[in-house]
Structure 1
Amino acid sequence: MKKCRASCRIAIIGAGASGVAAATRLLENGFCHVQILEAEDYIGGRIRTIPFADNVADLGAQWCHGMKNNCVYDMVKHLDLVAPTGDFFNDVAMVRSNKEVIPLELGHKLQEMAYGSIPNDSTPAVGSMGSYVVEQFWKAVDNQIPDVDRELAVEFLESFQKHESSIEGSDNLFEISGRSHLEYEECEGDQLVHWRCKGYARFLRLLMKVGEDEPCELGLLNGRVKFGKKVSRIQILPGRKLQVDCEDESFKVDHVICTVSLGVLQKEMDTMFSPPLPPAKVKAIQSLRLGTVDKIFFEYETHPFPKDFVGFYPLWLEKDLKELRESKHAWLEGITGIHNITCQPRVVLAWVGGVHGRKAELLTDEEFLESMQWLFRKFLSFEMPEPKRFLRTKWYLNPNFRGSYSYRTTTADELDTGAWDLASPIMGEENHPSLLFAGEATSRSHYSTVHGATEAGWREADRLIEYYAICN
């Protein structure tokens, strides 16, 4: 006999945006036995807001991407919590490794052509995004500014590709699906809506109905989150039951919603699930990717940049890049940009990603800071003091994440798989939805975003709500 909402037991793996969204949706619809098992010691997952400098730093998700048909923005737009970033980053300088600053007008023209080279129509690009961008960019250069310094254009294109890879979450643009733009739906409006002085954690508090000054564990999730519970095994048992094993205890439940990151699935799926996952889901897990994007927050006594200097994108001269790759600072090739940050008057934010980001995570703080100070001296005509303190993320090294956010690959194109296979539920006896999957990587149209993760959590909660629409 099917249980009802008041009696069935549900375990949610992970207290990130997707897990919190699923749990709160279920609790608001009459489910009484909902438990979140979280491997970390905080609620949020890849949303991680902490006190830093004059207010807070978002170590993970930082911006709300778009203002129309975005469930995150819809929840906060009337609460004076967010603001558009607008043209804040328009005047970030392009600086060559010989300290030459590219004229702003030329920089804007190069950016206009580069962004115009990204596939965005109804026709899939053949092969990878990278090959398409390179071909279209050089066509635009030849047509619009044929007399431009070709070495400079090469340096710019390399810098742009690294920057765009950081946005996509990939190691490079040549591994990104040429049809990804057909599936990902960009929400209209400012793509960098920021959280003023509160941070992204305010969104989670709204989901959980927790006041600004209350502990996160209160609200709807009061007593329903177990911290330090890394799940080692999920077994589907006879009789429409599942067993979830952690290191120190096990749980018998009727349903599991698994929201762990794609990186964790890739590393642990062979031992985590019994019986093994079906081939279609394995193919999706193996074909999609979870990229590495890390941040470095530098706090200074007073802001070190000259007035009107927003930040810079590093452009490497060929000879300097060759020397860099043979030096102990080689990981700096992965720095995609360094700039001011809204609502933090004494903070500079730098970004590093891909294989270089993963190498950077292995450095000691002393080695890391030495390299960054070397970079500042190499590119800037003014002196950068040592920071009062700095904070850096290590999303790849954390075994509970193993990366930052997902992207669609050329391999997924070739194998005709994607988020839809990752999202498909594992059905038990009598079409019982036993094992469900959520998380940003399971979102077909909004992967890599908080709103995609939230929608995925609601999707799986709604699956159970519908299943228990009529109790037998």
Structure 2
Amino acid sequence: MAVRWSFQPILLCLLCIVPWLFSLSCPSRHIPSSAGHPSVIIIGAGMSGIMAAKTLSEHGIDDFLILDATDRIGGRMHQTTFAGYTIEMGANWVEGVGGEEENPIWTLAKKYNLRVSYSDFDNMSSNTYNEDGTLLPLSFTEPHFDLADASFNYTNELSNSLNAHGEEDISILTAQRIFGVVPSTPLDMVIDFVYYDFENAEPPRVTSLKNAQPTPTFVYYGDDEYFVADKRGYVHILHELAKGFLKHNNDSIMDSRLKLKKVVTNIISLGVLKSTLIKYTPDLPYWKIKTFYQFDMTIYTKVFLKFSQKFWPTGPGSEFFLYADGKRGYYPFWQHLENVYPGSNILFVTVTDDESRRIEQQPDHVTKTEIMEVLRKMFGERIPDASEILVPRWWKNSFHGGSYINWPIGVSEADFDRMKAPIGPLYFTGEHTSAQFNGYVHGAYLSGIATAETLIDCIKYGKCDEITSDELPGTSKILPRNGNLTSGNCTGSCCVDVQQERETLRQSYVGAIDALQAALAAKCRAS
């Protein structure tokens, strides 16, 4: 899919937003709808894209066009029917509830009566099985969980200290080493998975301490988490938001400004932005490409299994249980759905990162065999085989390329600014552009609003974030060509002096802006 700079703003919602920058001099407070010449093209109908469109509409900009590669809105909020029940393949929790400030997604969940269940993670020390399947006694596991708590609290304090004194960032693993305890036994490794991988979808060795701890979501909004189990899906809140400004018939959106599947062939997630599926003319500047590749698009996989009968413990404090394998991250984190769907006989197990990649690449029957071996260790040889299995494949999904981003070591808040910085009429939004709430639904929600507000300032008031030839943030002195990265003084054909590259970019953007202003002037005269 080739993306050419148009004279419209385009919003890439981890998407991206592209505005047709209608004349900055037109004084009209309301830009009328025009199906043929939209003011803004929004690529991606996930949470950030829909919230961007909603915010534009609330400010009188209604002539936008929302494009999505799939046949639905929601992006990584995606439910399906499994064994007769609605399950979420992507986003599943409202995370960050119970604090002094209310999470906007929790506000919406209450407003639209989303069916949720409180997740009590406090009893996992009583529900941990070792590698041979033995349920470990609390007297044995509790000291290990207490030590993990102490390490976690220390790393939080160390992060606060590093930030307060302007010290360089380190990984969470480095902080654990400073504390003096690095998980190495199967039990300690599965506890470590719970504390870090289950949230970040990557291990402590690659995750930024200063920026991932303490987790801003829980600092701002509270520690509670609610599991979404609604037959309408988590995406129901997005449908309700969309119905507030898009034409609809009952639960179906009928608005011609929303184009699903027919118009674009690729949705632009960070995973796709980092791939070769999207091509830009002219090329994106080096600093923007480099920023894309600095961030990790994680993989978070929930494997669902249906059984003819339940054979696992149920009742208070039994919803979650752990399997401590010698291989870190091997089918570690389990949850049954009896609390939300009594009698469903459904389990799911969460894996991340390399295990997700491995599982995505193998046939489902192989995954099922591996899982049954683990379950039979824990619950005996006589348990029945799973009758159904569902393995979401976010990594191999060409429209997404992963689940959400994690903040890796070596990436600064300035890199987030570069991530969302516009390139001419091309604007970027999505959870990946949120320095505080990346990886969360509320991060996508808030970033969509923020980017739309930036766009509104440009379209209606002429306050545009222009990137000029001497203001390209984060550029190095030498830019690569033909994929060959070099350093130092480069005189060969593989490199070009940054001034020459800047001038090429400047001419591209200035030409687009000149043409845009001419089109704008004509539009103003016609009106």
**TM-score range with shorter-chain normalisation?**
0.7 to 0.9
Cα shift at 1:94: 1.2
Cα shift at 1:196: 3.9
Which residue of structure 1 lines up, in the alignment, with residue 77 of structure 2? 47
Which residue of structure 2 lines up, in the alignment, with residue 371 of structure 1? 370
Which residue of structure 2 lines up, in the alignment, with residue 450 of structure 1? 441
1:196-245: CA deviation from partner (whole Å, max 9, x where unpaired): 43431122122113799944434xxx2222222575xxxxxxxxxxxxxx
Which residue of structure 2 lines up, in the alignment, with residue 287 of structure 1? 294
**Residues 230 and 171 (structure 1), Cα distance of their counterparts in 2 relative to 1, 3 Å cut:** farther
Aligned-partner Cα distance in 2 for 1:192–1:126 = 28
The one of 259, 268, 272 equivalent to 1:260 is 268
**Partner SS state of residue 385, structure 2:** coil
Aligned-partner Cα distance in 2 for 1:6–1:105 = 69
The one of 52, 60, 63 equivalent to 1:33 is 63
Which residue of structure 2 lines up, in the alignment, with residue 313 of structure 1? 322
**Partner SS state of residue 284, structure 1:** helix
Q: Which letter maps to 1:100?
A: T
**Partner SS state of residue 228, structure 2:** coil
Q: Is this contact kept in 2: 1:291–1:406, CA < 8 A?
A: yes
Aligned-partner Cα distance in 2 for 1:454–1:37 = 18
1:138-178: CA deviation from partner (whole Å, max 9, x where unpaired): 29xxxxxxxxxxxx972222113333443344442101112
**Partner SS state of residue 356, structure 1:** helix
Which residue of structure 1 lines up, in the alignment, with residue 151 of structure 2? 117
Is 2:311 aligned against 1:304?
A: yes
Which residue of structure 2 lines up, in the alignment, with residue 329 of structure 1? none
Cα shift at 1:54: 5.2
Matches within 5 A, 1:133-144: 133-136=176-179, 138=181
**Residues 368 and 426 (structure 1), Cα distance of their counterparts in 2 relative to 1, 3 Å cut:** same
Q: Which letter maps to 1:380?
A: F
The one of 318, 334, 340 equivalent to 1:338 is 334
Is 2:432 aligned against 1:407?
A: no
Which residue of structure 2 lines up, in the alignment, with residue 357 of structure 1? 356
Which residue of structure 1 lines up, in the alignment, with residue 484 of structure 2? none
**Residues 79 and 203 (structure 1), Cα distance of their counterparts in 2 relative to 1, 3 Å cut:** closer
1:405-428: CA deviation from partner (whole Å, max 9, x where unpaired): 101111325xx753221011223x
**Partner SS state of residue 411, structure 1:** coil
Matches within 5 A, 1:51-450: 51-53=81-83, 55-67=85-97, 68-83=101-116, 85-87=118-120, 90-91=123-124, 93-118=127-152, 119-121=155-157, 122-124=160-162, 127-136=170-179, 138=181, 154-181=185-212, 184-186=215-217, 187-198=220-231, 199-209=233-243, 214-218=250-254, 222-228=255-261, 260-268=268-276, 272-308=279-315, 309-317=318-326, 321=327, 333-341=329-337, 342-345=339-342, 346-381=345-380, 383-413=382-412, 417-427=414-424, 434-450=425-441
Cα shift at 1:84: 5.3
1:251-274: CA deviation from partner (whole Å, max 9, x where unpaired): xxxxxxxx83211111138x5222
Cα shift at 1:294: 0.7
Moved more, 56-65 or 128-137: 128-137
**Partner SS state of residue 163, structure 1:** helix
**Partner SS state of residue 322, structure 2:** strand
Aligned-partner Cα distance in 2 for 1:84–1:369 = 27
**Partner SS state of residue 205, structure 2:** helix
Which residue of structure 1 lines up, in the alignment, with residue 474 of structure 2? none
Is 2:32 aligned against 1:6?
A: yes
**Residues 71 and 333 (structure 1), Cα distance of their counterparts in 2 relative to 1, 3 Å cut:** closer
1:423-471: CA deviation from partner (whole Å, max 9, x where unpaired): 11223xxxxxx11100111001000001000111111111122223459
**Partner SS state of residue 162, structure 1:** helix
Q: Is this contact kept in 2: 1:202–1:212, CA < 8 A?
A: no
**Partner SS state of residue 349, structure 2:** strand
1:181-207: CA deviation from partner (whole Å, max 9, x where unpaired): 368512433442123434311221221
Of the two, which has the highest radius of gyration? 2
Q: Which letter maps to 1:352?
A: V
Q: Which letter maps to 1:174?
A: R
Which residue of structure 1 lines up, in the alignment, with residue 472 of structure 2? none
Cα shift at 1:126: 5.1
Q: Which letter maps to 1:435?
A: L
Q: Which letter maps to 1:104?
A: L
Aligned-partner Cα distance in 1 for 2:309–2:341 = 11
Q: Is this contact kept in 2: 1:205–1:212, CA < 8 A?
A: no
Aligned-partner Cα distance in 1 for 2:119–2:330 = 26
Query: What is the aligned residue count?
Result: 410
Cα shift at 1:134: 4.7
**Partner SS state of residue 42, structure 2:** strand
**Partner SS state of residue 372, structure 1:** helix
Aligned-partner Cα distance in 1 for 2:269–2:453 = 21
Q: Is this contact kept in 2: 1:18–1:455, CA < 8 A?
A: yes
Normalising by structure 1, what TM-score? 0.78
**Partner SS state of residue 67, structure 2:** strand
Cα shift at 1:108: 4.0
Aligned-partner Cα distance in 1 for 2:263–2:383 = 42
**Partner SS state of residue 117, structure 1:** helix
Q: Is this contact kept in 1: 2:41–2:66, CA < 8 A?
A: yes
**Residues 13 and 93 (structure 1), Cα distance of their counterparts in 2 relative to 1, 3 Å cut:** same
Moved more, 170-179 or 41-50: 170-179
Q: Is this contact kept in 1: 2:364–2:389, CA < 8 A?
A: no
Q: Which letter maps to 1:451?
A: H
Aligned-partner Cα distance in 1 for 2:62–2:243 = 17
Aligned-partner Cα distance in 2 for 1:64–1:344 = 18
Cα shift at 1:400: 0.8
Percentage identity across paired residues of the two chains: 24
**Partner SS state of residue 197, structure 1:** coil
1:267-320: CA deviation from partner (whole Å, max 9, x where unpaired): 138x52222223332222111111111111112233331344434211125xxx
Cα shift at 1:111: 2.5
Cα shift at 1:33: 1.8
Q: Is this contact kept in 2: 1:440–1:447, CA < 8 A?
A: yes
Aligned-partner Cα distance in 1 for 2:151–2:115 = 31
Aligned-partner Cα distance in 1 for 2:383–2:249 = 37
Aligned-partner Cα distance in 1 for 2:352–2:358 = 9
Cα shift at 1:396: 0.2
Q: Which letter maps to 1:310?
A: E
